[in-house]
Amino acid sequence: MARKTKSENGIVETIKTVVYALLIAGVFRTLFFQPFWIPSGSMKDTLLVGDFLFVNKMAYGYSQYSCPFGLCGFLGEGRILASDPQRGDVVVFRHPVNGEDFIKRLIGLPGDTVQIREGRVIINGKEVPQEPAGTFTETYEKQGPMGYYPRCENGPVGEGGDCTATRLRETLPNDDDTGPGVVHDVLNIDANGGGDNTGIYTVPEGQYFFMGDNRDNSLDSRFAQAAGGVGFVPAKYLVGRADRVIFSSAGRSMLAFWTWRADRFFKAVE
């Protein structure tokens, strides 16, 4: 009988350990960091399809969209421990209409005017400097679990061929427009893409304007929500900031170790 009791106690302790571990993981995911896989090429070459990162939820505080399964619904329209994002941050946010998580770069702050003219970003009437930064080259093949092919400036490209895009180094202004801010790379695929020439957007108070770094392959704030874009994004939809790639795989599955990109492990997001 004593042996049976000891066995039962062992099972109970195992169950308790699993429950505690799940609770700790749940709290960690809810309050601190959310895992995020990059499913598309809209942020190349800053982020590649198959990059895995943790989103820093503490960066901007917490809203009803910060927690999984609606656990933060009690916050309503508010946000606690709020902190303003900085221009140039790479941000994960909830799409205001379809509820999906998106990741883009913050370009326009509340009160800014933003326009794109011949592929160049103009913020508050000043053109954002760009300079040539070589060529981005990748293999033309299916990428990630979704199996999408990359878009190529030199297309059409056959399976296994080199798919290229012009890389430009862009220097955003500081939040107060007084000097240089975040420096990052963008890609250009089309000489006159659908988002290369726009009207002037005035960012409303409490909202933000986002763009993908792969400028001709990103549905972002340049495009209305009705057209599949994201439009302006209210602050309550911000989930967190992407700071560092933890792991990266170029294959259809993370188990395909021969497709791992070891040079991207723990790479800072710039």
Query: What are the catalytic residues?
Result: 42, 104
At 3, the amino acid letter reads R
Q: Give the span between the Cα atoms of 71 and 76, in whole angstroms.
A: 11
Those residues with Cβ within 8 angstroms of residue 87's Cβ, 6 or more apart along the chain or in another chain = 106, 107, 108, 109, 172, 173, 174, 175, 181, 182
Residue 254: count other Cβ atoms within 10 Å of its Cβ.
15
Indicate the length of the chain as a whole number: 270
State phi, psi for 215 to the nearest 5 degrees. Answer: -60, -30
Number of DSSP helices (H) and strands (E) in the chain, helices first:
1, 15
